[in-house]
Amino acid sequence: MDQAQIEIQVLGSLSQVSAQDWDACACPEAADGGRPLDPFTTHRFLSALEESDSVGPGTGWQPQYLTAYLDGMMIAAAPLYAKSHSQGEYIFDHNWAHAYENAGGRYYPKLQVAVPFTPATGRRFLVRSGYEGIGQSALVQGMVQLAADNNVSTVHVTFCTEAEAEIGREIGLMHRTTQQFHWLNDGYADFDGFLAALSSRKRKTLRKERRQANDFGGQIHTFTGDQLRPEHWDAFWLFYQDTGARKWGSPYLSRQFFEIAHATMADDMALVLAERDGAYVAGALNFIGRETLFGRYWGCIENHPCLHFELCYYRAIDIAIAEGLQRVEAGAQGEHKLARGYMPTQTHSLHWVGDSGFADAIARYLEAEREAIDQEIELLTDYGPFRKVDVEEQQ
């Protein structure tokens, strides 16, 4: 096909494109009526961010959705934002910004292909089935051209898939690797099946933590779909505000986001709440993908031993096993997850830097960083909680 036939448009709002057209690119696998691989690039999730004013004017996340059309049909899209800061990204470039500005440059605004506030791996170059090659190429060329035309310092594509990272590297983008901790389902029938794969000492520790957590004096509930009620979000909003205030100074998501998500995404969410004396005291929100459970937010108004581990990690494993999901992504950072069966996993991003001298410096930095990440993953994997296959253990 002739690349010249492709038209690139920049949209300031998802209201300018139909959910059908966007999702045909974002989640073509869901055309069979099943779940998308992840819900975060769907029209409903990104629209909830926009309609709730969690992104847009005053947030530092200004939508500039990139779309590509061939003969009038939308064949590709990317969740692109103009950024005036580096908050809510989880792939840290603050040092890059300081170095660039100390050298007399203007780092912001920059362009970010990402799902705001969501460190979850997924496709970032969203392409309709059958148009993968020309669609992705058009999006990459479009974002770089947009940056060059507007004298933007950098473009960042964060938490992309490994396949996208490989393609991006081949066409000249810089590849960065980082690390998260993911739980992998090795065909476990239940939580005890998972425990059986751990070393004896770790198995005892996890059982003890679950007992402590469930002795907090109340009950733990999991709600999804029609089970979700407005009062659940009233409680969770308090938890989320507390966590957001401690981590970021103020929450990234507005209260209205949860109201919109309740209306449009109830089947995409599993909310775990701890209730004591008739009141909810802690909660963890997960999003459900086709193969993955994504742990996203946690908060509490009472502190109880191990309740955080139970709601965020162990209940997530329970849900994943029950739903036949392949993995749990438990969010950014957190080496404490390793002892609980969440293993170190590479995550990927791509970067374009307009200034050639600065680009060379970044490239050298990324090469050294990749080596360090590889070594850290290898070391942490050796310290993982799983039984060594060549060691007989007493049960």
pLDDT reported for residue 332? 84
Distance CA 40, CA 46 (A): 7
pLDDT reported for residue 334? 83
pLDDT reported for residue 389? 61
Sheet holding 343-353, edge to edge: 61-63, 80-83, 110-113, 154-160, 343-353, 174-184, 327-332, 292-300, 279-288, 269-276, 219-224
pLDDT reported for residue 250? 77
Residues in the chain predicted with pLDDT less than 50, given as ranges, are: 1-3, 390-395
pLDDT reported for residue 392? 41
Distance CA 105, CA 315 (A): 47
CB 13 within 8 A of CB 63: yes
